[in-house]
Amino acid sequence: MLSYHFNVIPVLEGTWPIILQSVFTSLPYTQTCSCCVLQVTGGKFILKNCDLRFINYLKFKRITMLTFGITIVRHGETEWNKKGLLQGQAIDSSLSDIGMQQAEAAGKYLKDVKFTNVFVSDMARARQTCEAIVKHNSSCSGLEIVTDPSLKERSFGSAEGGLVVDMKNMATAAGQSWLDFTPPGGETIEQMKMRIKEFLEHLFQRMVADHCRPGQRETGMPEGALAGKPDDGTRDVPAHALVVSHGALIRVAMRYLVDELKCPLPQGLDMSHVIALCPNTGICRFIFTVTKGDAGVTLSAIRCVFINRCEHI
């Protein structure tokens, strides 16, 4: 790897990291798990640790990067949850008394965590949970709450309204794992992954539009051991989205982030945590870095902070 020098129009002085990885958009050149540095000084830029193919692609192009957090919360308990029944999309139930208490507890736990954006499923149980969290959080005052149907629960087809154990028995009879089993008329895991991918693409674009400013310096991916605090991983990021959704969707999202986007797990977590059902008002948190260039907004880096934290309930 060499350094390359070009005379260009004077631009902002500084040193800028460039991550050579694309997830959602195919670039002419992609080099996984490698990076180069763009150093700007005296009206010239120097690209270090890159090869010529990537230099040719990046030459004279402006790239913006943003690192931000996403905190994902499952809705509180409903009477259907309590009875072990599948709600899916057809049954738009409200929170039970215990579910309201859980939502209030989540709101108090997250009350000092700064959020800059809020996204929520269009189903009642998620909206009620989101309202309780936002109510306790002063940083959410005046924020737009974006209701997004792509965050709704999985459709379980003919199994909706029945017992969870009955769906597990259906999967066993079909010779499949119940985590991957699709009841007749239900939504497949691949369809759910597509929904999650589309939501993330929309969220990335929204975060960049809301929080990237000309001349803004990239903060970088925060590191450090967990302190067991509600704001773990987000104290040094410029933006942070709250996302309130549902158990089955969150479980598939965790698998998608780890299996397909290759998100590394922190020490102490393994795949058993990834595939476990998130408890009511359980909390997951990830840190993302995205890059905005001529190819659009693409994911550059991802880190898991924690999965299914529930010490508030």
Q: Is 80 annotated as a binding residue?
A: yes
Residues in the chain: 313
pLDDT given at position 285: 97
Catalytic residue among 13, 131, 153, 223: 153
17 and 47 both lie in a single domain = yes
12 and 150 both lie in a single domain = no
23 and 166 both lie in a single domain = no
Catalytic residue among 75, 187, 218, 246: 75
Give the predicted TM-score (pTM) of the model: 0.79
Q: Is 187 annotated as a binding residue?
A: no
20 and 97 both lie in a single domain = no
77 and 183 both lie in a single domain = yes
Q: Which amino acid is at 313?
A: I
299 and 218 both lie in a single domain = yes
Q: Among 61, 86, 106, where does a domain finish?
A: 61
91 and 220 both lie in a single domain = yes
12 and 119 both lie in a single domain = no
Please count the structural domains in the chain: 2
Residue 153 known to be catalytic: yes
Q: What is the mean pLDDT of the chain?
A: 83
For the segment 1-10, the average pLDDT, to the nearest whole number, is 35
For the segment 246-271, the average pLDDT, to the nearest whole number, is 95
Residue 2 has pLDDT above 50, yes or no: no
Q: Among 43, 61, 79, where does a domain finish?
A: 61
158 and 267 both lie in a single domain = yes
Q: Is 125 annotated as a binding residue?
A: yes
**Per-residue pLDDT reduced to its tens digit, 161-206:** 999 999 999 999 999 998 889 999 999 999 999 999 999 999 999 9
CATH of the domain at 168: 3.40.50.1240
Secondary structure, 3-state, the chain: CEEEEEECCCCCCEEEEEECCCCCCCCCCCCCCCEEEEEEECCEEEEEEECHHHHHHHCCCCCEEEEEEEEEEECCCEHHHHCCECCCCCCCCCECHHHHHHHHHHHHHCCCCCCCEEEECCCHHHHHHHHHHHHHCHHHCCCCEEECHHHCCCCCHHHCCCEHHHHHHHHHHCCCCCCCCCCCCCCCHHHHHHHHHHHHHHHHHHHHHHHCCCCCCCCCCCCCCCCCCCCCCCCCCCEEEEEEECHHHHHHHHHHHHHHCCCCCCCCCCHHHHHCCCCCCCEEEEEEEEEEECCEEEEEEEEEEEEEECCCC
207 and 106 both lie in a single domain = yes
Residue 240 known to be catalytic: no
78 and 57 both lie in a single domain = no
Q: Is 79 annotated as a binding residue?
A: yes
Residue 18: domain span: 2-61
Q: Is 53 annotated as a binding residue?
A: no
Residue 27 has pLDDT above 70, yes or no: no
Q: Among 35, 61, 87, where does a domain finish?
A: 61
28 and 10 both lie in a single domain = yes
pLDDT category of residue 277 using cuts at 50, 70 and 90: very high
pLDDT category of residue 220 using cuts at 50, 70 and 90: low
